[in-house]
Structure 1
Amino acid sequence: MKLSYSTIIFQCLLACASCALPTLYEYYTGDGISSGLSVDQPYFTLNGKNITIYGGAMHYFRVPPQHWRDRLRKLRAAGLNTVETILAWNIHEPRNGYFDFGSGGTDMEAFVDLEGFLTAALEEDLLVIVRPGPYTCGEWEWGGFPSWLLREDTLKVRTSEQTYMKYVERYFGNVLPILAKYQFTNGGPIIAVQVENEYGYNSDIDKVYLQSLVDLMKSNGIVELLFTSDGASSGTAGTLPGVLFQTVNFGSDAATSFHILEGLQPGKPVMAMEFYPGWFDHWSEGHHTLSDSDFRANYEDILGYPASVNLYMFHGGTNWGFFNGANIGPGDNSQFQPTTTSYDYNAPLTEAGDYTSKYDIIRELLVLYNPIETLVPDPPELVERQEYPTLSIDGYLSLENIVANSHEIILTTSTLSMEQLPINDDSGQSYGYIVYREGGLNISAYSNLTITGHIRDTVMILINGVLISSSLSSSDDFNNFGYWRLENSTITLTTEDLTDATLDIVIENFGRANFGNMYHQFKGLMEDNRVFLNDEELWFWVIYPLEFQSSWTKNLTDWNSVSSDLPKGPGLYKATLTVDDDHTDTFIDMSEWNRGVVIVNGFVLGRYAFIGPQQTLYLPGPFLQTGDNDIVIFEHFEPASEVKFSTDAIFSNP
């Protein structure tokens, strides 16, 4: 086999790995630490030594903590010297004033050990770039904002509005001192901190807001380089020239973006803070991919410029639970596009941590282009996944059984959104589903139910516990009753007269927008969602929030036995997976189910929908326990009779 010249050079250079080389930290701190990352010249220096930043994004909250070390070592083994992560405010302050950084007892407790992640990065010989927001986008629910902010009538996110800034100040006062401890000049890994995120795209540019964030960061002990990132077309709209260092985001045509950036801040280094090696998926779209040839060409254009670069994403991970974000157009909810649970991103490292050919390309090119040689570990061996045995459904709870288990019941004479509910220490409901029930209705044959406005985001209608609205049959159904695109939705409830009937309206939060119209992200029935039975407005509601918190799901009892003919409509279906001590990773294959969420041992793994592109849900081995494991599925429409597993992710085109 004839080898290419670049491959021969690559192999020769790798052979030098046996030479005595310093670690990254030994190289940059061996003589002590006197300064951090500097941009006072046309290239970066760190502690007085030249550095080109070769970064890769990995979000700690999208990766099982037990796998952090594996993923970080793989990142370093690719030749990268920096890991970049955003922070998500909504998992660190899930309720107003209640913080969790790893011991708060929330369902995301294991994922929010920020100090543990930063320590792991340091010990894996990586520098760190952090992007604490407060808005961070990232295709994460509401761009990281906690939903309880919506309870404040005057609040406007991403501005200097007083109420919003009061909460930002409190959040920063809790999170920034943690980051300050781990700064490079304090002996930690953090070399740079981002201020806000892509603020140049915001519809209401507020420079006072940006300066306030800078002041808060400095007053909370942040001394490392402060920067912003935007598309090149934003110019200086999203930054403070002379105060904040600018970086740029793009997926191709590096030279054009870098030329613009050099014009905006001459004499400074250039860096792509987000270079896209792939892309994320919305439900009902095809799975996004970028060819190896295009990736190689684009990445090499950056390296050869030469410029610093951060791969967004290097390892995408997973939008656990209900934390997927969405895109949305201006105004109403009609252009809503929910993001999938998988955040695989067609990245160099897959959702489950496998190497891809893009990983090999990165490793090869960095050996050729990085002039500074430091010790790089060998890529860790992959741990094989397994296909667990197919499971039969052994328990069922109808919607009526589910609401009977509800520990929160709200009576109201007006429509209340999730966020307005007086629950969770007056923080409202953030995620999941909400049931609006009205009983004692006399419904004549061919009566119509109308919900005005656009649904936020999907709705199921039941009469006396029977599903009336249609099952999801294709993505075209998003244009019909039950979904967000249709304005003033109408459905016929019955073909015969009914007396003393019970109406249930089940509404799902399918993900708050992380980009676009950021301001009005209420879910459930809003003020503009009036409900009419024929011409009569319904107004007396019993509300049941269905949050599927672990403490609630684990305590569900009185499961009904199941027959071969499983009922249609919203319900919970349980199967039991028994495993030995070998808790290896797997995927749950949901391609035979219709739409809903999967819960493993009380933890909401994520959403599924047969329309794709995602057909499997990544189940990390650490989520399993020796012995019996509960697999609980909340299916909207049509359950399958079995739960199947796969060793690999499955994507399909709609």
Structure 2
Amino acid sequence: MAVTNASLPTSYEYYTGGGITSGLSANQSYFTLNNQNITLYSGAMHYFRVPPPYWRDRLRKMRAAGLNTVETYVPWNLHEPANGYFDFGSAGTDMQEFLDVRKFLKTAQEEDLFVIMRPGPYICSEWEFGGFPSWLLRQKDIKVRTSDPVYMKFVTRYFNLLLSLLAIFQFTRGGPIIAFQVENEYGSTEKPGFVPDKVYLKQLRQLMLNNGIVELLVTSDSPTMHGTAGTLPEYFLQTANFASEPEDEFNKLKELQTNKPTMAMEFWTGWFDHWSEEHHTRNDDDFYDVLNRILKYPGSVNMYMFVGGTNWGFLNGANLNNEETDNSGYQPDTTSYDYDAPLTENGDYTMKYLMVKELITKYNKVRTRIPQTPSITPRRKYSAVVVQGQLLLNDLLRTVPVTFQSPSVLSMETLPMNNLSGQSYGYIVYRMTNLDIPANSILKISGHVCDSVVVLVDGFLLNKPLTRSSDLDGFGYWRLKDSTITINSQNLTGATLDLMVENWGRNNFGYLEQFNQFKGLWQGGVFLNDVELQNWHIFPLEFKKSWTQSLKGWRTPVRRWAPGPALYKAVLDVDVTEDTFVDMEKWVKGIVVVNGFVLGRYARIGPQQTLYLPGVFLKKGNNTILVFDHFVTRAEVKFSEGPKYRTKYRGSN
């Protein structure tokens, strides 16, 4: 009699039917789970990058492709946004709805998936500061990713809470977690003059043991590039990260650790985008070829990413493409983390998804019940909405709840706010009043701006709008050191000077010194005709939901080319809440806020031109859409049914 899918056991029934006596084992050349052979067919999905109401949809789609495991990072900066203040789904932060990691784990198990946890404390992930909370920068001379006692004090406090929550979800306790990763790509910290700190790795392992973690511990690096520099072979299973040439990486793994399973912890299904680059995609045939070779080897695999996601709000990371900490080689990531993955940012199927399903069916000898492939999530292009109101920068500054006076400019992180945790995200405005400015005066900002600055005198914009990628080489952006701008052509008396600086995202990868990512103006003073300006009024613009939703006094929009930074309000009235994309092609640079939640950044320089707006962020009736543009005003906010990317742009407006 033919075996039907309905008569097959689930993965949990197959691997736990006789009771659980052991977890995932790497004590031989292949994996076993509860003493039965298993090949891990895993995919990365980050719970903090996907709206929680869609978790089940994405997880079921993964299982329907034949995957038996899901992998996720844990972002420290979201779970401890202020020093000693934790949020695991109910603490009232703007991201709290994304942070119920226990609910995510339960849902994954209900959808018949095992879980690989990558708790950090450093996660990279093209995520703001590699997952570190920015308040760590307030600790003098802290050395992250080392056994530095100052750093480890905070890691210990965080891990004692996090791991105690995760411990009850371990496989051997009846939960879904079959493995934990220790740190992340730690071998990449190796460079002349610095050897990765093995004491640090031992301390992380001991923290896990102290908190009852008993499942398999792993590390991940490129074995051909870093050997065992980022691991402890006596304690951890080493896994590989790569895009191609799996045989080379797996052969090196076998050389480094004999009689152990081979696994790709990150097989890169695509890649991410930096602002001003072309949109990255990965050839489907190349993807198929490499995945086929991984499974044929044979090896286990975690596809990074399997589910594309979103860097909500200000949470995108960045790279530094040099060894300097001066910011000149800074490359911020886009809001979209679609990654050209098998499942797109909005959960759609791609050709890669079909290829995964085909290859797992071919190679997996263990037959278990696979759910029916879920239908796609509906999308629609809503009609454009008219901009009804405008608040200029000066209007916004009047409503900032906490401001500061300082003799000199200060970084965001050093401001004494948020329970002495500083400012993490958004904008910071430095104001100088009652200035007498002679004609043709020169303003100079010492060092590098972190990361861009808009200059206004008496509310009038001096910068040129960011409309070309080459504009990043000029005044106002991170690449220039000691940049200057001519302020005026006529004498001014009693003038007000505003410098609005945006944090475009802290670096998430690199050598240890590249994590000194303060934001704002902090590398030197601000000078007018070579005289340093003193006694600043500092305004943090965080765009927290409570503040944004309390704004009042909206004025009729002023239509002119360059009014400078302003917040624009429109209302989207809907009867049906479905996924859509906010089309920002006609705007220049800024952020979009929907019902108080900062959706993300946009920039005309691309490549990303639309922002994914999940239907679950909308409500029936009126929805408030706010656009904070640094340079221009537009008459309407448009929508698109799908994403748009600008492949190459050299126009002006």
TM-score band, normalised by shorter chain: over 0.9
The answer (yes or no) to whether the contact 1:566–1:641 under 8 Å persists in 2 is no
Choose which of 323, 330, 335 in structure 2 pairs with 1:330: 323
Choose which of 485, 489, 492 in structure 1 pairs with 2:483: 489
Residue in 1 aligned with 2:130? 143
Provide the rounded CA distance (Å) in 1 between the counterparts of 2:115 and 2:633. 44
Give secondary structure in 2 for the equivalent of 1:287. coil
Provide the rounded CA distance (Å) in 1 between the counterparts of 2:275 and 2:212. 42
Amino acid at match of 2:339: Y
Amino acid at match of 1:206: D
Amino acid at match of 1:412: S
The answer (yes or no) to whether the contact 1:41–1:269 under 8 Å persists in 2 is yes
Choose which of 552, 555, 561 in structure 1 pairs with 2:556: 561
Shift of 1:626: 1.8
Asked if 1:393 is matched to 2:384, the reply is no
Provide the rounded CA distance (Å) in 1 between the counterparts of 2:561 and 2:94. 30
Asked if 1:294 is matched to 2:286, the reply is yes
Residue in 2 aligned with 1:376? 370
Asked if 1:121 is matched to 2:108, the reply is yes
Asked if 1:358 is matched to 2:352, the reply is yes
Choose which of 310, 313, 319 in structure 1 pairs with 2:302: 310
Quick check: 560-569 or 344-353, which moved more? 560-569
Residue in 2 aligned with 1:160? 147
Give secondary structure in 1 for the equivalent of 2:446. strand
Provide the rounded CA distance (Å) in 1 between the counterparts of 2:186 and 2:587. 40
> TM-score if structure 2 supplies the norm length?
0.97
Residues 198-277 of structure 1 mapped to structure 2, 5 A cutoff:
198-203=185-190, 204=194, 205-232=196-223, 233-277=225-269
The answer (yes or no) to whether the contact 1:73–1:377 under 8 Å persists in 2 is yes
Provide the rounded CA distance (Å) in 2 between the counterparts of 1:334 and 1:560. 39
Shift of 1:350: 0.2
The answer (yes or no) to whether the contact 2:348–2:377 under 8 Å persists in 1 is no
Shift of 1:611: 1.0
Shift of 1:641: 1.5
Provide the rounded CA distance (Å) in 2 between the counterparts of 1:641 and 1:240. 59
Residue in 1 aligned with 2:566? 571
Quick check: 512-521 or 544-553, which moved more? 512-521
Shift of 1:16: 5.8
- Deviation digits for residues 377-414 of structure 1, max 9, x if unmatched? 11101121111110110000000001011111100112
- Deviation digits for residues 259-295 of structure 1, max 9, x if unmatched? 0000000100000000011000001111101111101
Shift of 1:565: 4.2
Asked if 1:633 is matched to 2:620, the reply is no
Residue in 2 aligned with 1:408? 402
Provide the rounded CA distance (Å) in 1 between the counterparts of 2:606 and 2:4. 44
Amino acid at match of 1:538: L
Choose which of 44, 64, 74 in structure 1 pairs with 2:31: 44
Shift of 1:191: 0.2
Give secondary structure in 2 for the equivalent of 1:487. coil
Residue in 1 aligned with 2:599? 605
Residue in 2 aligned with 1:432? 426
Provide the rounded CA distance (Å) in 2 between the counterparts of 1:400 and 1:160. 46
Percent of aligned pairs sharing the same letter? 58
Choose which of 260, 270, 273 in structure 2 pairs with 1:278: 270
- Deviation digits for residues 604-652 of structure 1, max 9, x if unmatched? 0000011111010000011111211110011011222210011101112
Residues 504-653 of structure 1 mapped to structure 2, 5 A cutoff:
504-517=498-511, 518-526=514-522, 528-565=523-560, 568-580=563-575, 582-653=576-647
Amino acid at match of 1:542: H
Give secondary structure in 1 for the equivalent of 2:484. strand
Give secondary structure in 2 for the equivalent of 1:229. strand
Give secondary structure in 1 for the equivalent of 2:292. helix
Cα distance 1:346–1:17, how it changes in 2: closer, same or farther (>3 A)? farther
Shift of 1:568: 2.1
Amino acid at match of 1:170: R
- Deviation digits for residues 295-331 of structure 1, max 9, x if unmatched? 1001000010010000000012100000000001322
The answer (yes or no) to whether the contact 1:249–1:272 under 8 Å persists in 2 is yes
Residue in 2 aligned with 1:91? 78
Residue in 1 aligned with 2:463? 469
- Deviation digits for residues 46-69 of structure 1, max 9, x if unmatched? 000000000000000000000000
Shift of 1:218: 0.6
Provide the rounded CA distance (Å) in 2 between the counterparts of 1:445 and 1:315. 56
Residue in 2 aligned with 1:78? 65
Amino acid at match of 1:237: A
The answer (yes or no) to whether the contact 1:478–1:484 under 8 Å persists in 2 is yes
Provide the rounded CA distance (Å) in 1 between the counterparts of 2:475 and 2:608. 24
Choose which of 334, 346, 366 in structure 2 pairs with 1:340: 334
Cα distance 1:179–1:310, how it changes in 2: closer, same or farther (>3 A)? same
Shift of 1:155: 1.3
Give secondary structure in 1 for the equivalent of 2:123. coil
Quick check: 509-518 or 366-375, which moved more? 509-518
- Deviation digits for residues 28-55 of structure 1, max 9, x if unmatched? 0000000000001000000000000000
Choose which of 436, 449, 452 in structure 1 pairs with 2:443: 449
Residue in 2 aligned with 1:6? none
Cα distance 1:364–1:494, how it changes in 2: closer, same or farther (>3 A)? same
Provide the rounded CA distance (Å) in 2 between the counterparts of 1:516 and 1:193. 23
The answer (yes or no) to whether the contact 1:56–1:80 under 8 Å persists in 2 is yes
Cα distance 1:565–1:460, how it changes in 2: closer, same or farther (>3 A)? closer
- Deviation digits for residues 129-162 of structure 1, max 9, x if unmatched? 0000000000000000000000010311001111
Provide the rounded CA distance (Å) in 1 between the counterparts of 2:536 and 2:64. 57
Asked if 1:195 is matched to 2:182, the reply is yes
Amino acid at match of 1:434: I
The answer (yes or no) to whether the contact 2:270–2:281 under 8 Å persists in 1 is yes
Provide the rounded CA distance (Å) in 2 between the counterparts of 1:596 and 1:295. 35
Give secondary structure in 1 for the equivalent of 2:509. strand
Q: Which runs of 4+ in 1 moved over 6 A?
A: none
Shift of 1:454: 1.0
Give secondary structure in 2 for the equivalent of 1:309. strand
> TM-score if structure 1 supplies the norm length?
0.97
Amino acid at match of 1:605: L
Residue in 1 aligned with 2:651? none
Give secondary structure in 2 for the equivalent of 1:634. strand
Give secondary structure in 1 for the equivalent of 2:303. strand
Choose which of 176, 185, 194 in structure 1 pairs with 2:163: 176
Shift of 1:242: 1.1
Shift of 1:519: 2.4
Cα distance 1:410–1:160, how it changes in 2: closer, same or farther (>3 A)? same
Quick check: 409-418 or 306-315, which moved more? 409-418
Asked if 1:25 is matched to 2:17, the reply is no
Count of residues in Structure 1 that have an aligned counterpart in Structure 2: 638
